[in-house]
Structure 1
Amino acid sequence: MTDDPLALRSDHVFDIRINFDKRWATGAIHAGGPNHGYTSVGEGSTVSGPRLNGKLVDYSGADWPVVRTDKVVELNAHYMIEADDGALIYIRNLGYVHGPLDLPDGTKISSYFRCTPYFRAPDGPHGWLNRTVIVGVGQRRPKLTPDDAPDHSLFRYYAII
């Protein structure tokens, strides 16, 4: 533990597995502009972790990504979480996906998938979500063969403390 009051520290708070239902690409609105899309949340999406457990409400939202001309995807997702205690929590998740990426230490990763969620949670045990900065990392897992799991993404979220 550092004594630096400006040091960034984080704690893993939960993971979300989002199963997708439909994907549409609507193309560019203006010639030469970015492409737009829509990806809806399907059934069976889960939330699990040390601070929050539950599920995503089936068909409760979607991501409206923008695929920029530089190949960076801007995420803009909205959906509902139903916690194990029945509380409904709104999440808006903004982020970037692009790759491949060379890290400063020489490590190569296949894609950069980072996000910053914002929440509207009821007072009580989930109220901490309304006042905590949380960041997430993600990984897309498309269905490539009939034996693969359904098309989904995995997100791991960390509270910045």
Structure 2
Amino acid sequence: MTDNDPLALRYEHVFDIRINFDRRWMTGAIHQGGPNHGYTSIGEGCKVSGPRLNGTLVDHSGADWPVVRADGVVELNAHYMIQADDGALIYIRNLGYVHGPLQRPGYPPLTPYFRCTPYFRAPDGPHEWLNRTVIVGVGQRRPKVTPEDEPDHSLFRYYAVL
């Protein structure tokens, strides 16, 4: 495909989110033989930064409710609130998949495939573009391994599909 191809996928980086985790629980399978369910709450000090959106996540405003399937795939289902620098509150629901652990000796497994598709509800005004734009995200888990490491968090980079 060329740059002039109307079916070529084009995208632009719009913002990043750093999510600090508060608590994690695995509740196990709801039904015998079913997938494991979990809960990961969002903590304090989460930042949103980028060329099209800046702000913070509202402290303790949501959580991820992951499902861990028998094939090792984690289905993400996160809900939380962004507060833009101008004070606007923006709801985000983030669905995605995490799989393919990469094991390093002495470290927790890291996941090379971490992709998501967020959905937004933004108020009229400068952020309403989020309500009508397809956005995809790439994530990376950053666990706390040593006392010198930053707290357990994930980084997400979001791209608008043009």
Shorter-chain TM-score category? over 0.9
**TM-score, length of structure 2 as denominator length:** 0.92
Alignment match, 2:39: 38
Q: How well do the aligned residues superpose, as a CA RMSD in angstroms?
A: 1.3
Alignment match, 2:150: 149
Asked if 1:10 corresponds to 2:3, the answer is no
Could you tell me whether the CA contact under 8 Å between 2:111 and 2:140 is conserved in 1? Answer: no
- List aligned pairs for 1:6-155, cutoff 5 A: 6-100=7-101, 110-155=111-156
Structure 1 CA distance for aligned equivalents of residues 140 and 32 of structure 2: 31
Structure 2 CA distance for aligned equivalents of residues 62 and 88 of structure 1: 17
Shift of 1:100: 4.4
Shift of 1:144: 1.0
Structure 2 CA distance for aligned equivalents of residues 100 and 39 of structure 1: 19
Structure 2 CA distance for aligned equivalents of residues 28 and 147 of structure 1: 35
List structure 1 runs of 4+ shifted beyond 2 angstroms: none
AA aligned opposite 1:49: G
- Percent identity of equivalent pairs: 84
AA aligned opposite 2:67: V
Aligned length: 154
Shift of 1:146: 1.2
Could you tell me whether the CA contact under 8 Å between 2:96 and 2:114 is conserved in 1? Answer: yes
AA aligned opposite 2:113: Y
Structure 1 CA distance for aligned equivalents of residues 148 and 28 of structure 2: 30
Structure 1 CA distance for aligned equivalents of residues 95 and 81 of structure 2: 15
- Unaligned residue ranges in structure 1 (runs of 5+): 102-108
Shift of 1:110: 4.8
AA aligned opposite 2:55: G
**TM-score, length of structure 1 as denominator length:** 0.93
Give the SS at the match of 2:125.
coil
Give the SS at the match of 2:44.
coil
Shift of 1:25: 0.4
- Unaligned residue ranges in structure 2 (runs of 5+): 103-109
